[in-house]
């Protein structure tokens, strides 16, 4: 059984016993152990600030972009190994593993290319601003890297992409990174760091890894540090409430729960390409990563007059999904990631079903291919409730697995908006329609409640990436229940790691200072 170390203060370190055990979710077999007991997190953060920070700030954007490109290339050379490890340690099919691993290297490469197009080490932000009658007295804004460390605490479902997408923005902005993957799936992130440290492409202090508990790490944060967290809303609130975080004014970004929704417009008939796109993307979001995506469709809003047909089409789609050992050819969906995740999903299914009825599945494993129920399997599960105002937890409980709820509505944009917005903030919602007025009304009604909105229509059916795919060009995050955070979005992704400062004074001097 492998022992996972942490890469802190420029060296690999192992914690003391007792250790946490990591399991293969397909078989339940123990595959690794890790601990951070006794590790000096204060030293680790100081090393990142004092060694990695100055190194990055001395680089131009183009040089930081070249660093990201070298990291992406080093990881891509080991792609097949990483895909196989993703299957074993995370229960991912090869397609799901590609979604995570290629998403990581692809996002790094995208930001590397962005860096190559930028000049200097910081940004001038906006135009010069006259401040008095004397034209020589002016003001301007700059965005500069913060002199701290970026602490990234990631979720279990994307141990590769979660690391890569956060690190890409931080490193390009000029801040060193300490990454803490979820312990349960840290095997993949650990191997990626081994590849990067062995390659020698990353300068000292620029990247650090915590495998296991965060211990007292957040007691050592300082005012220039930033903290980005992806995970449960409860943990996000705990982090925001830490006395050291509050006292130091540490900048915090949280991505938490999200009851993402898909709305079928009343205009689409079953033969239309828009309707077929709707069915494909709903099914894809249930099966991909076994529904363990923060962007996965949880609630399906269907005009009441179309309910029977949609119900039958989805039931047929679910019935065709082969669940089992993700390493077996033809298996489309593997297990959920951990035993505790399996318990949470089944409890969530029971809570939803208490206020609705099963249309397909029941939260059990169903018929498995090449696996036994000793693994952490949940078959495709669809529950139907009577309507938007059903008093159960459909708008309050995110069941993080292959579980969806179908909700009939009256076909109007107003009721669709009312139903979806009861989720109290989400990462993404989608509307499927060829009716431009309906699309506009739903999108503008839902915009205040979501970080991203996806419009699926017949004309883009062959090109849609779907609501579940997060792209570096667009922001990822959302208000309210979703945590109120924001990541990616091209250059916007760098803002979290930079300080916007106003500079005022003599025009020639200010111009010289603010020009990158």
Active site amino acids: 255, 294
**Which of 138, 125, 144 has its CA nearest to residue 508?**
138
**Beta strand pairing call for 485-488 and 475-478:** antiparallel
Handedness of CA 439, 445, 447, 450 (dihedral sign): negative
CA distance 345 to 355: 16
**Cα 90 → chain centroid:** 16
**Which of 394, 318, 322, 414 has its CA nearest to residue 352?**
394
Query: What angle (nearest 5°) sits at the alpha carbon of residue 82, between those of residues 258 and 233?
Result: 20
Q: Which two tokens stand for residue 146?
A: 């913060």
Which segments of 203-338 does DSSP mark as H helices, in order?
Answer: 233-241, 243-248, 273-287, 307-319
What 3-state DSSP class applies to 329?
Answer: coil
CA distance 185 to 88: 10
CA distance 28 to 43: 36
CA distance 475 to 347: 32
Query: What angle (nearest 5°) sits at the alpha carbon of residue 158, between those of residues 157 and 161?
Result: 170
Backbone angles phi and psi of 8, in degrees to 5: -135, 145
> For residue 428, what are the β-bridge partners?
452
**Beta strand pairing call for 177-180 and 150-153:** parallel
Q: Which two tokens stand for residue 60?
A: 């131009």
Tokens 């010289």 — which residue?
512
Q: Which two tokens stand for residue 334?
A: 């593997």
In the chain, the N- to C-terminal Cα span, in Å, equals 51
Q: Which two tokens stand for residue 464?
A: 């849609």
């Amino acid at each position: 059984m492998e022992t996972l170390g942490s890469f802190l203060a420029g060296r690999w370190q192992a914690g003391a016993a007792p250790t946490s055990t990591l399991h293969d979710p397909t078989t339940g077999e123990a595959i690794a152990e890790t601990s951070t007991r006794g590790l000096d997190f204060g030293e680790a953060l100081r090393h990142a600030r004092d060694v990695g920070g100055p190194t990055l700030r001395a680089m131009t954007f183009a040089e930081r972009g070249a660093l990201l490109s070298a990291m992406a290339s080093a990881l891509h050379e080991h792609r097949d190994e990483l895909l196989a490890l993703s299957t074993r340690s995370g229960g991912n099919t090869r397609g799901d593993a590609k979604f995570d691993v290629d998403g990581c290297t692809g996002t790094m490469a995208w930001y590397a290319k962005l860096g190559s197009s930028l000049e200097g080490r910081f940004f001038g932000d906006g135009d010069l601003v006259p401040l008095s009658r004397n034209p020589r007295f002016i003001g301007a804004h700059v965005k500069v890297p913060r002199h701290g460390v970026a602490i990234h605490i990631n979720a279990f479902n994307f141990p590769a992409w979660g690391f890569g997408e956060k690190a890409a923005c931080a490193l390009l902005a000029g801040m060193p990174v300490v990454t803490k993957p979820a312990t349960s799936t840290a095997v993949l992130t650990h191997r990626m760091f081994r590849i990067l440290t062995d390659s020698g492409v990353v300068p000292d202090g620029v990247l650090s890894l915590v495998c296991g508990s965060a211990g007292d790490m957040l007691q050592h944060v300082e005012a220039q540090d930033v903290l980005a967290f992806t995970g449960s809303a409860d943990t996000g609130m705990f982090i925001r409430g830490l006395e050291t975080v509050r006292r130091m004014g540490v900048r915090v970004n949280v991505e938490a729960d999200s009851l993402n929704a898909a709305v079928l417009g009343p205009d689409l008939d079953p033969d239309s390409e828009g309707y077929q796109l709707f069915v494909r993307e709903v099914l894809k979001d249930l099966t991909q990563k076994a529904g363990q995506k923060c962007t996965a469709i949880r609630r399906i809003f269907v005009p009441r007059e179309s309910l029977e047909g949609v119900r039958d089409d989805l039931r047929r789609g679910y019935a065709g999904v082969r669940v089992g050992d993700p390493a077996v050819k033809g298996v489309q969906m593997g297990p959920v990631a951990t035993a505790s995740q399996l318990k949470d999903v089944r409890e969530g299914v029971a809570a939803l079903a208490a206020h609705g009825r099963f249309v397909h599945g029941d939260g059990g494993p169903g018929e498995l291919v090449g696996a036994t129920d000793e693994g952490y399997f949940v078959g495709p599960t669809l529950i139907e409730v009577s309507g938007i105002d059903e008093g159960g937890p459909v708008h309050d409980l995110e069941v993080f697995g292959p579980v969806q709820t179908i909700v009939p509505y009256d076909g109007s944009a107003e009721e669709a908006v009312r139903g979806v917005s009861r989720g109290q903030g989400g990462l993404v919602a989608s509307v499927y329609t060829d009716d431009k007025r309906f699309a506009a009304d739903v999108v503008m009604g839902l915009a205040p409640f979501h970080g991203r909105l996806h419009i699926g229509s017949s004309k883009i059916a062959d090109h849609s990436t779907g609501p579940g795919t997060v792209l570096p060009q667009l922001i990822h995050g959302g208000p309210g229940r979703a945590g109120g955070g924001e990541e990616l979005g091209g250059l916007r992704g760098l803002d979290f790691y930079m300080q916007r400062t106003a500079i005022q004074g003599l025009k020639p001097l200010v111009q010289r200072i603010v020009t990158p």
